[in-house]
Structure 1
Amino acid sequence: MVTELNDSVAEFYQRNLVNARGEKKHLTADCPFCHERGFDPHDRLVVFLKKSGFFHGYFRCLNNCVPGGFPLWFAKLSGIDLAKVPGYDPDREPILSTADYPSANRNLEIQSYEGNFTEPLLDRFSEKGIGQDALSQLHVGFNGRYIVFPYFQEDGNCYAARCVFPDRQDDYFWHGNEQFFSEEYQIFNVEDINRCENGSLFLCEGEETLLALKQLGYPAVAVPDSHVLESIDPQRFAFIKTLFLVTSNSAEAEASMRKLAARIGYKVRPFRWPVGLAKDYTLCQLAKDKGKQFRAAVSALIQGARAFSPFTTPSREYAHFQEQLSMEGGSSYMALRTGFPLFDDALDGVHGINVVGGAPKSGKSTFLIQIATDMALRNIPVLYYDFENGRQKLYHRTLCRLSQLSSEAIRKGSFSPDEAARYRGACERLQEMLQFFRVINDRQVTPEIMRRHIDFIHHETHSDYTIVVIDSLHKLPFKDFSERRTGIDAWLRQMESIRDELNVSFLVISELSRGDGKSYKETPHLGVFKGSGDIEYSADNAMVLYPDWDPLSSVTEQRRRNKLWLVASREHSPGLIAEYEVDYPYWGFIERQSGGKYNE
C-alpha cells in the first residue's frame, strides 16, 4: 500500500491489520473482530486515510461487528498498548462519569422490541436514508405503536428509552428509570464520544438524523430536541478534535446551537442550510429529496461547514464598516445635535459617551433635560433614566420652558390671552414629544433591561439612533457589585458595549469631588469626577459645568451663568465650550459666547 509521508496513523493500522491493501484515501483489511463474532473476516474492515480529511484514521467494519472509531478505540478493542497509538497522551486525565448507575436496566426489554418493524415503517425509514443496518446498530425497536429509541449510557446499559409515535414527533414519552429522563442523560448513542477520541464526531438534533448519518457510516450522537444542546456540558467533547453540529433549519435550533458552540469553541463546525429551505428542514428531508445523491450532499455540507468563530467573517466585517460609514454620513446621524450651536460646533453633536460633571445645584439636570427634550421634539428617541427629580417635576419644568411661563403661573392657571395661547401650544408640543421621550425611574434597572428599553424605542420610533440620559451615574443601582466605585466602572463598561452594539449616544451626569479647598471651583480636570477612575477611559467626551455664581445664594435677581468646559475628548480639543445663562424662572439655559481660554 502507498501511504503519505509521515503518516503515523496509516503505519499504525498497517502494523496491526492482516491483508491490508488499498490506496491513499483508504485501506481494506481482514476485520480482526469479526471471527469471534461469527462473521466472515475477509476484506470487511475499512480505514479512512485521507490525511487532510476530518475522518483521517476512522475505521469501521462493514459487517458492523463492532462500532467504528479512531485509533485509540481500535487499540482498546484489540488489546494494543495505548502508548503505541499515534496521538496518545499519557498525561491526559480521563473524563469520569459521576452518574450513579443502578443495578437494574432495560437491556432485555429493549431486545424484545428490536426487529418488530412493519414493512410500511421500514419503507418510511428508507425514504429518510435509514436502513436496517443503522436501526440494528443502535438497537432501535418498535413496541407496536411507538418507535423505541434506547438511550444506552456510558456503562453500556440502557435505563431509559424515548418512545416516539411515527411521523408525529411531538407525541412521545420517556419510559424506564425516571432518574435517566433528565437532560443530563439525553445523549443518544453517547458511547460514540469515547470511540472518537482525537477524531471527528457529529452531534445531531433528533435520533433519526443520527440514524441517517450512521447509515452512511459516520460516527454520531444526538439529542432529542435542540434545546437540550444548551444544557450539555462542553467537557464531554474535550477530546474530540472536530464536532459537526447538525440541527433543523429553524431560528430556535440555530440559537441553541450557537450557545453550545460559543461554550465549546473553535472545534465546532455547524452545518449551514442553504437559503430558501423550509422551516424545520432536516437531514432526513434532504435524504428524501436527494435519494441516491444523499451521500454526496452530506459530503458537500461537511466540506462547507466552517469552524465556529466568535468573530464575523472579514467580508461581513467590511460590509458592516461600510454600513456604519454610510449611516454616519446620513441625516439621522447628523441630526443628533443639542440645539445649542456652540456645544454642537465644539463636539460635532451628541455622539458616544458624554459625561457632564457639576457641583450640586449648578443646573446639571436642568441642562440635560433641556437638551434631551429638545432632541425628542425633533423626533430623536430619548430614554431618560431619572434618579433625581421624578417624572412629574421633569415634565413640569419642560412645560415651563416651552411655554415661557413660571411654575407659579402654571399652578395658579390664571393666564392672559397670550399666556393661555402659549400654554396650549406648549401642552401640545409636550404631548407630541412624549412619542419620542421615555422617563424611567426604576431603581432596579440593569444593563439587560436597558438594552430591552433601547430595542423597544428603536422599534417604536423606526429610528437608527437613540439618546440615553443617565441622571445620575452615582445613583445607578449596583446590584452584585461589592463596592460603589467598582459598580460605577462596571456600568461604564456596559455603556461602551451598548454604544457600539445598538447605536446609542449617552449623556451622563456625574458628581464632582471637592477640591483641596473643599470647594468646586478649582481648574477643571479629569480628577474632579467623583468615584470613578474609568471616566477618563470610557468617556468619549468629559465635561464640567461650573457656576459663575453662588448656587447657595437666595438672591434670585443675580445674573447666573455657568461655564461648560471640555476637559477630555477622543476627537476634540479641550477648552471652554460656552457660557450658559439661566433663563429664570423658566427652567432653561441660554447659550452665550465666551472669550475665555482653557489652561491645560
Structure 2
Amino acid sequence: MEKATLVAECPFCRDRGFDPAGRLTVFLNQDGPFHGYFRCHNRCVPGGFPLWFARLAAIEPAEAPGFDPEREYLHQGAEFPVVNINTEIKQYHDRLTDDLVRDFSAAGVGPQVLDELQIGYNGRYIVYPYFQTDGNCYAARCVFPDRPQDYFWHGDERFAVEEYQIFNIVDLLSCENGALFLCEGENNLLPLKQLGFPGIAVPYNLNFERLDSELFAHLRTLFIIMVNSGESETAARALAARVGYKVRLLQWPAGLPRGYSVWQMARDRGSGFRAAIAAMIQSAKTFSPFPAPQFEHQRFLRRLASEQGSAYAALQSGFCRLDAAIGGIHGINVVGGAPKVGKSMFMIQIATEMALRGIPVLYYDFENGRQKIYQRTLSRLSRMDASMMRRQQWTGPERERYDEACRRMRRMMTTLRVVNDRKLTPELMRRHIDFLRHESSSEYTVVVVDSLHKLPFKDLSERRTGIDAWLRQLEAIRDELQVSFLVISELTRGGDGSYREEPHLGVFKGSGDIEYSADNAMVLYPGDVHQDPAAAGERSNTLWLVASREHSPGPVASYALDYPYWGFVEEGGSCD
C-alpha cells in the first residue's frame, strides 16, 4: 500500500505475453471518483473497475462488489458480420512513421497508448479504428494530420453511422459502476489515456446530442470534456441533461482561445499537463439542470427590484378602473367576448395607448389586417371618422388634429409592431420579442394575440390540444422574458344558442387550460342595445373579471362605444 493506492504484480501480463514483472495499480481513495479503478502499467489489459476485473480474472460476478444479476446491458444482443478489417488496422498501425510518433510524443502520447488503441497511418491519413463490443473493427475514421475537417470513413459503411461512432468503446464496458471520460475528438482522448484515465471519444460535437443516454446508465461518474467552443458546450449540456446527475462537465480556464482542446493543452503544458487536468477535474461540479442557489437568489432580487421600478409600474392599460382591478397589465390576461362585441377594438386601443407611452408592444393580428388597425387608430387619435379622412375637406382645427394624430402615430410606430405572419411559432415569437427589446432598450414587452383561436396549429383537427400547447408556451415566455400578454379568446354559446350566459370560466371556447394558464381571465359582456343598429352611439359593454390569481372577480367597469371613432370610454373611471 502507498497511501490510498495498492501496487502489486499484474496477474494478467504473463498470460498475454507481456513482461511478467508488470505492475498493477489500484486506486482506493474512497472520496475520489476513481475509487476501485485498476490499471496495468504494461497496458496488457484495459483498465477498469471491480466487475471488469472479475470478468478478466474469471471470478464469479456475484463475488465482485456492485454486481446486479438483474441489470440489462444496452450493448448485448448486437449482431456483427463475419468479415472485419482487423488485419488492415494492424497493417496501418505498423505503418506509423517516425515523424508521426514524434508528433504524438509532443502531446505526451507514448507508443504504448498508440499500441493499445491501434492508431495507424495509411500513407496520408491517421487511422482511428472503431472497435466494437465484440472486439473487432469494422470501420475506421481516417483524418488528415493538422486538418481535422479533412476525413473519411474506411470499412463497412454500416458501422460508420452514429450508433457505432464510439472510439475505444471497450473502456465503456470496463468502467461499470465507475468513472469514465467522454471526449470530443479521438486525438483529445490520447493524452488522457497516457495519464492512465479510462475514456471514450466521439468524432464530432453533434454526437453528444445524439448519443443514447442509456449507454451510461451503469456508470457512477461521467466526465465530459469538449473543445472550447459554444457549440460544443451546448451539445455536451444537451447530453448531460439526458444522462443526469452523474455527469461532470470540465470547464476550460478563462482566456483560452476558441477551439482549444485537450490535445493542444497537452502540447502546451508538457509535464504540467497532469496538474492542469487534475485541476479541471477537481473544479468540475456535478451537472444540474437547475441554476446555482446563489444565482437563483440574485436573480430573484434583481426581478424584485425591477418590479419596484417605474418601468414595471408603467405597464398600465390607460383604463383606470381596469388597471385598479388587475394591478396593471402583467402576466397572461385573456379577454373573451361574443363576435362583434368590440374585443379587437378594445385591445387595439390598449396596445396603441401603451405604445404611445413608449412601452414596446407586439401585436399579433390574425383578424383585421395591419392597414385597418392603423386607420382605426388614426381615427381615434384625430377624432375624425373614415369618411371625413377620405374627403380631406377640413377646417383649420381639423387639419391640426389630423397632423397631430399623424405625428403621434409616427412616434407610436417606434414601439408598436404589428405582425400578420400566419406561420408564427413560439420560437419565432421569442425572436420577435428579443428584437423589439433590443430596439427599444426596454426591460418589459407587451404582446397582444388577436386571437387565441387563430394561432397556427399543425393539425386543425386537434385545435384544442394546439390551443393548450400555445398557452403553455405563453407561460414559458412570460416567465423567461418578462412579457405581459393580452390574449383575445372566443366564447362558447350558451344553452339557448346565445352569448348571454353569466360570465364564468366555462364560457371560454376550446381550452380547458385557460383557467390554469391565465393570470386574469375576463369577459367583455354586451349591453342590451348591442344588436340595435340605430343605437350605435349608445352601445356599452361591461368587462367582468371572471378569475384571477391575485385579484377578486366581479364586474370591472362599463365601456361606452366612442362612435364613430373606433374606441371605448371607461364609464365612471378617474385616473386622479
**TM class, shorter-chain normalised?**
over 0.9
Q: Does 1:237 align with 2:216?
A: yes
> How far 1:560 moved relative to its partner?
2.1
Task: State the partner residue of 2:256.
Answer: 277
> How far 1:68 moved relative to its partner?
0.9
Which secondary structure state, in structure 1, belongs to the residue aligned with residue 477 of structure 2?
helix
Q: Does 1:161 align with 2:140?
A: yes
Look up the equivalent residue of 2:181 and give its one-letter code.
F
Within 5 Å, give how 1:166-205 maps onto structure 2.
166-205=145-184
The worse-fitting range, judged by mean Cα deviation, of 557-566 and 468-477 is 557-566
Which secondary structure state, in structure 1, belongs to the residue aligned with residue 418 of structure 2?
strand
Distance verdict in 2 for CA 1:40–1:121, change over 3 Å: closer
234, 237, 245: which one aligns with 1:255:
234
* Partner Cα separation in structure 2 for residue 396 and residue 369 of structure 1: 11
Task: State the partner residue of 1:382.
Answer: 361
* Partner Cα separation in structure 2 for residue 37 and residue 196 of structure 1: 21
Q: Does 1:497 align with 2:499?
A: no
Which secondary structure state, in structure 1, belongs to the residue aligned with residue 232 of structure 2?
helix
Within 5 Å, give how 1:363-512 maps onto structure 2.
363-480=342-459, 483-512=462-491
Q: Does 1:348 align with 2:327?
A: yes
181, 188, 193: which one aligns with 1:209:
188
Kept after mapping to 2: 8 A contact 1:361/1:551: no
* Partner Cα separation in structure 1 for residue 77 and residue 535 of structure 2: 76
Kept after mapping to 2: 8 A contact 1:359/1:546: yes
Task: State the partner residue of 1:62.
Answer: 41
* Residues 471-520 of structure 1, C-alpha deviations (whole Å, 9 max, x = no match): 12222233258643333222222211110011111001122334455544
Look up the equivalent residue of 1:413 and give its one-letter code.
Q
* Partner Cα separation in structure 2 for residue 398 and residue 140 of structure 1: 72
* Residues 316-337 of structure 1, C-alpha deviations (whole Å, 9 max, x = no match): 1111111211221233222211
Task: State the partner residue of 1:334.
Answer: 313
Kept after mapping to 1: 8 A contact 2:306/2:312: yes
> How far 1:43 moved relative to its partner?
5.7
Kept after mapping to 1: 8 A contact 2:46/2:170: no
Q: Does 1:228 align with 2:207?
A: yes
Q: Does 1:36 align with 2:18?
A: no
Look up the equivalent residue of 1:324 and give its one-letter code.
R
Kept after mapping to 1: 8 A contact 2:22/2:40: no
> How far 1:161 moved relative to its partner?
1.8
Task: State the partner residue of 2:277.
Answer: 298
> How far 1:307 moved relative to its partner?
1.5
Look up the equivalent residue of 1:122 and give its one-letter code.
V
Task: State the partner residue of 1:8.
Answer: none
* Partner Cα separation in structure 2 for residue 410 and residue 377 of structure 1: 21
Kept after mapping to 1: 8 A contact 2:355/2:361: yes
Q: CA RMSD in A?
A: 2.2
Look up the equivalent residue of 1:410 and give its one-letter code.
M
Kept after mapping to 1: 8 A contact 2:139/2:160: yes
* Partner Cα separation in structure 1 for residue 393 and residue 85 of structure 2: 87
The worse-fitting range, judged by mean Cα deviation, of 563-572 and 118-127 is 118-127
> How far 1:571 moved relative to its partner?
2.0
* Partner Cα separation in structure 2 for residue 579 and residue 106 of structure 1: 83
Task: State the partner residue of 1:3.
Answer: none
* Partner Cα separation in structure 2 for residue 214 and residue 57 of structure 1: 17
Which secondary structure state, in structure 2, belongs to the residue aligned with residue 586 of structure 1?
coil
Look up the equivalent residue of 2:556 and give its one-letter code.
I
Kept after mapping to 2: 8 A contact 1:468/1:507: yes
Kept after mapping to 1: 8 A contact 2:319/2:573: no
> How far 1:355 moved relative to its partner?
1.1
* Partner Cα separation in structure 1 for residue 12 and residue 390 of structure 2: 95
The worse-fitting range, judged by mean Cα deviation, of 115-124 and 318-327 is 115-124
Look up the equivalent residue of 2:150 and give its one-letter code.
D
* Partner Cα separation in structure 1 for residue 4 and residue 271 of structure 2: 22
The worse-fitting range, judged by mean Cα deviation, of 365-374 and 554-563 is 554-563
Distance verdict in 2 for CA 1:102–1:516, change over 3 Å: closer
Task: State the partner residue of 1:141.
Answer: 120
* Partner Cα separation in structure 1 for residue 166 and residue 17 of structure 2: 30
> How far 1:526 moved relative to its partner?
2.6
* Partner Cα separation in structure 2 for residue 345 and residue 275 of structure 1: 50
Instruction: Normalising by structure 1, report the TM-score.
Output: 0.91
* Partner Cα separation in structure 2 for residue 161 and residue 557 of structure 1: 80
> How far 1:400 moved relative to its partner?
1.0
The worse-fitting range, judged by mean Cα deviation, of 160-169 and 63-72 is 160-169
587, 590, 593: which one aligns with 2:566:
587
> How far 1:226 moved relative to its partner?
0.9
Task: State the partner residue of 1:566.
Answer: 545
Kept after mapping to 2: 8 A contact 1:583/1:589: yes
Kept after mapping to 2: 8 A contact 1:28/1:43: no
* Partner Cα separation in structure 2 for residue 591 and residue 421 of structure 1: 26
* Partner Cα separation in structure 2 for residue 149 and residue 431 of structure 1: 64
Structure 2: 5+ residue runs without aligned partners? Answer: none
Q: Does 1:362 align with 2:367?
A: no
Distance verdict in 2 for CA 1:594–1:413, change over 3 Å: closer
Look up the equivalent residue of 2:149 and give its one-letter code.
D
* Partner Cα separation in structure 1 for residue 85 and residue 509 of structure 2: 67
Distance verdict in 2 for CA 1:365–1:191, change over 3 Å: same
Which secondary structure state, in structure 1, belongs to the residue aligned with residue 91 of structure 2?
helix
Which secondary structure state, in structure 2, belongs to the residue aligned with residue 114 of structure 1?
helix
* Partner Cα separation in structure 1 for residue 459 and residue 233 of structure 2: 31
The worse-fitting range, judged by mean Cα deviation, of 233-242 and 510-519 is 510-519
* Residues 63-116 of structure 1, C-alpha deviations (whole Å, 9 max, x = no match): 111111111111111111111111111111222456553332221222122254
Instruction: Normalising by structure 2, report the TM-score.
Output: 0.94
Structure 1 stretches of 4+ with a deviation exceeding 6 A read none
* Residues 175-200 of structure 1, C-alpha deviations (whole Å, 9 max, x = no match): 22222222222211112111111111
* Partner Cα separation in structure 2 for residue 126 and residue 144 of structure 1: 19
Distance verdict in 2 for CA 1:480–1:50, change over 3 Å: farther
Kept after mapping to 2: 8 A contact 1:356/1:542: yes
> How far 1:577 moved relative to its partner?
2.5
Kept after mapping to 1: 8 A contact 2:343/2:488: yes
> How far 1:546 moved relative to its partner?
1.8
Task: State the partner residue of 2:50.
Answer: 71
* Partner Cα separation in structure 2 for residue 404 and residue 420 of structure 1: 11
Look up the equivalent residue of 2:359 and give its one-letter code.
I
